[in-house]
Structure 1
Amino acid sequence: MADPRNPRGGAGAGQGRPDRTPRHSRQQGRRAAEAPCAPLARHAASQRAQAPDRAAPPRRVASGATTRRVSERTQAQTRSRGAVRHPGSGGPAAPSRLPLVVAAVAAVAAVVVACLVVSRCAASPSDAPSQEPASGEVEIQVAEGAGTDAIAQSLVDAGLVKDSATFTKAVMAQGAGQSLKPGTYRFAAGIPVTQIVEQLVEGPNTTSNRVTVPEGLTVAKTAAYVQDALGIPADDFVAQAKASNYSSDYPFLSEAADDSLEGFLWASTYDFSGKEVSADAVIRAMLDRYVTATASLDWQSGEAALKGAYGVDFDDYDVLILASVIEREAVTEQDRPLVSSVFYNRMRDGMPLQSDATMGYVTGGEVTADDLKKESPYNTYLNKGLPPTPICTPSIECVQAALNPQSTDYLYFLIIENGTYSNHTFSRTYDEHMAAIEQARQDQAP
């Protein structure tokens, strides 16, 4: 719209608002749901296989060598003394039974020692000494598809739980076996295992390998967020972000103009912990999120209603373009359907949109009066209809507003957010609009 401090001639539909704090920062708690982790095979077998390493000393301590040595010594003594006679016996002396007794005792000892060895080998893995307890904070990675037992082993290795069974029992007690989410986690040493399970159900609690992309960004600005969060060079991201690279997998991109992905890189929080991180992977995740977010929209019915009410023949891509302009012009939830109605009313009446925001896409920032005189397909002061592509990625609320505008007879709007001063005025005539601008100037005068 026209700047209330420097009004321009002609009908100004709207002034592209400057970049504001991303909606994500004002709407805390928005999370992307992650698919539950599939359970993996248990590790008990491998732990049992390792148990013999903890066996008792070699069994040669109880071997037959001791018995043989005792028997030979006893036999030597027997030979030197002659036959042993029992008192009162008048017959030949009976052979000595001492070697047999000693051999029996040694055999029993061997069995006892063997039982001890077997007992130690058969001990439960949970009886084995655990890792040293963690100290400070510990970061662990839960890979995509990791099951309860794999996660338990990671926690044991990190010293956060004493054994796998402790974690497994806590998971079972909370019924969380299918709800543990992949990602990067940071836990304080000594945290109760129940809290570990609760966090794994809630999702990652760190920003490592995560990127949050707010609504209203262009592809170039999205690339900057991705570079800062994931280390992917912005130039590589922009070079990869071409509709032709993905139209075979995402047929709706066949409508995209200028080979552009503007409008489709959906705003959300993305976690790539345990996954491949590349420009291609990030773009595919964003396109997948676009599909999910817009799946419930009734595009066809909305477009038919728009044609009947305003005489516009819009397809899905046209709706997305207008939604992106609404995203850059509207500020509040109440603004969106009203701003949408202004644009549809102007198109119905053969008027240009006159949105500064569309030229802001070209300048990359503020728009001056001179900018609005420059020829560009994005100059909606000089050209009627929509710009050729979306000018940012809109929120789902703006797409809904573009599909279902409020029914009004407004042709102008003035939206100002300047510190503590707020003005959201919608007008039916140019004179009303200019009066609103003048009033805003007076209200902000020193």
Structure 2
Amino acid sequence: MPASKPKAKKKNKTSKSFPFKGLILIVVGLLLISGLVLKASLWKAYPVDGDKQRLMIGTGETYSGFIDRLAKEDHLSFPILVKIYQRIAIHDTMKAGVYEVQKGMSIANVLKMISNVDNAQMNRILVIEGTTFKQLIDALKKDDLVTKEVVNLPTEQLLKELNIPYSHPEGLFAPDTYFFAKGETDRKILTDLYQRQMKALDAAWNNRANDLPYKNKYEALIMASIIEKETNLDSELEQVSGVFERRLKLGMRLQTDPTVIYGMGDAYQGNLTKADLRRPTPYNTYTMSGLPPTPIALPSKKAIEAAMHPDESDNIYFVATGNGGHTFSSNLQDHNKAVQDYLAVLRSKNKGN
């Protein structure tokens, strides 16, 4: 009998096909995971109450801070992934303004929307308490969403155009956060701020305390601007007011640095010297008695109220503590000690640096 052929070995199809099938499963799994990650982050709907909602973006806000806030409020997961997407896909910064977010808009679409100021529905204008009229005008000049009609006029002509019956603009415009339609005129914006300030001033004047040392409400506004510049603590406003009100009654000079600085104008470079304090100007309250001729800043409603309601202590001095706030004193001995304490704090801080 002829010799039989050896039987061929069967191929193990399972062992050779397994890597390919396994790779497919891994790819599918990764795609599913990626989809879930994107759904929880970039594709997730931005939180909206109702059919639409306004989203306010302030000047100086960043994508990083905005994304972190959404994550902190549990509105998205994987914030790092969202930040990477923003860096790669959005080659611009956030633009200040007020945007309208429709219900169902994804976070990715919102991120794109707020990179283009043309998408803004309204323009956010921030007027900070204690800033000057010049700073307000400069901000309006730089704002591309404001239609320019009066900001480039000389001050005297600007006031005339706005029908403002004062010869100096300082202090006449209310600091606050405002929202105006894109393209709103500077005339409308300034008129609105002026009317708000006058309304606050009139209300406070009509409800003022008795025996104030002001001839009229404009002098009270001057005082409010000084109070605004002297402290950033609401709890101290009436105390500062009381010190200056008593000094006026006693015939003492106000001796307040912010008035000197205002009178120096652009000559002030951040350092007030003894020579500056001795140099007479209409605003140097170290060399002149009484109030300066005009306000020195844009005072808040709180500062105006404080000017009308000084505290009832007998303090006539105050000095910074060096750690925030001020020490108030009724006599020169206590005040001199407070000054030495302040200087000691400064020396200690300088050593630490």
Name the TM-score class by shorter chain.
0.5 to 0.7
Q: How does 1:119-138 map to 2 (within 5 A)?
A: none
- Given that 1:217 and 1:393 are in contact with CA atoms closer than 8 Å, whether structure 2 keeps it comes out as yes
Partner amino acid, structure 1, of 2:289: K
Cα distance, 1:375 vs structure 2: 1.4
Aligned position for 1:302: 208
Q: Does the CA-based 8 Å contact 1:411-1:428 persist in structure 2? A: yes
Identify the residue that residue 275 of structure 2 maps to in structure 1.
Answer: 370
TM-score w.r.t. length of structure 2: 0.60
Whole-Å separation in 2 of the counterparts to 1:261 and 1:382: 24
- Residue aligning to 1:328: 229
Paired with 2:235 and 2:187, the residues of 1 have a C-alpha distance of 36
| 1:229 correspondence with 2:143 | yes
Match for 1:391 among 291, 296, 300? Answer: 296
The 3 A distance-change label for structure 1 pair 343 and 246 is: farther
- 2:254–2:290 contact (8 Å) kept in structure 1: yes
SS of the aligned residue for 2:101 comes to strand
Which secondary structure state, in structure 2, belongs to the residue aligned with residue 284 of structure 1? helix
| 2:201–2:221 CA contact under 8 A, matched in 1 | no
Measure, in 2, the Cα distance between the counterparts of 1:376 and 1:391: 13
Structure 2 counterpart of 1:381: 286
Q: 1:424 aligns with which of 326, 346, 350?
A: 326
Kindly, what percent of the aligned residue pairs are identical? 28
CA 1:442/1:313 → structure 2, altered by over 3 Å: closer, same or farther?
Answer: closer
Q: Structure 2 vs 1, CA of residues 438 and 228 (structure 1 numbering), >3 Å: closer, same or farther? A: same
- Matches of 2:250 and 2:214, distance apart in 1: 14
How far does residue 292 in structure 1 lie from its aligned partner after superposition? 4.2
What is the identity, as a one-letter code, of the residue corresponding to 1:397?
Answer: K
Letter of the 2:194 counterpart: L
What SS does the aligned partner of 2:294 have?
A: coil
- Aligned equivalents of 2:190, 2:290: Cα separation in 1: 29
Offset of residue 306 of structure 1: 2.7
**Computing the radius of gyration over CA atoms, which structure comes out larger, 1 or 2?**
1
Q: Which amino acid aligns with 1:217?
A: T
Counterpart for residue 177 of structure 2: 269
| Counterpart for residue 260 of structure 1 | 168
| Deviation digits for residues 1-59 of structure 1 (CA, Å, limit 9, x no counterpart) | xxxxxxxxxxxxxxxxxxxxxxxxxxxxxxxxxxxxxxxxxxxxxxxxxxxxxxxxxxx
Structure 2 distance, partners of 1:220, 1:207, is 27
Tell me what 1:286 maps to: 193
Q: Answer yes or no: is the 8 Å Cα contact 2:148–2:185 preserved in 1.
A: no
Counterpart of 1:438 in structure 2 is 340
Alignment partner of 2:251 out of 346, 350, 362: 350
Q: Which has the higher contact order (CA 8 A, sep 6+)?
A: 1
Q: How does 1:81-160 map to 2 (within 5 A)?
A: none
Identify the residue that residue 245 of structure 1 maps to in structure 2. 160
Structure 2 distance, partners of 1:212, 1:234, is: 17
Q: Which of these residues, 234, 238, 249, is aligned with residue 337 of structure 1? A: 238
TM-score w.r.t. length of structure 1: 0.48
Deviation at 1:315, TM superposition (A): 0.5
Q: Structure 1 residues 342, 260: CA separation in 2 closer, same or farther (over 3 Å shift)?
A: same
2:125 aligned residue? 211
Q: Which runs of 5+ in 2 are unaligned?
A: 1-44, 47-51, 55-96, 107-118
String of CA shifts for 1:140-168, please: whole Å, max 9, x gaps.
9x9xxxxxxxxxxxxxxxxxxxxxxxxxx
Q: CA deviation at 1:391?
A: 0.3
1:401 CA drift (Å)? 0.8
Distance 1:426 1:230 in 2: 45
Q: Distance in 1 between matches of 2:149 and 2:257?
A: 27
Amino acid at match of 1:271: F
- C-alpha distance 216-350 of structure 1, shift in aligned 2 (>3 A): same
Q: Which residue of 2 aligns with 1:172?
A: none
CA RMSD, Structure 1 to Structure 2 (Å)? 3.5
Letter in 2 for 1:357: P
In 2: Cα distance, 1:333 partner to 1:398 partner? 8
Q: Distance in 2 between matches of 1:269 and 1:227?
A: 17
Which residue number in structure 1 is paired with residue 13 of structure 2?
none
Whether contact under 8 Å (1:209, 1:229) holds in the other structure is no
Partner of 2:318: 413
Matched residue, 1:359: 260
Identify the residue that residue 100 of structure 2 maps to in structure 1.
Answer: 186
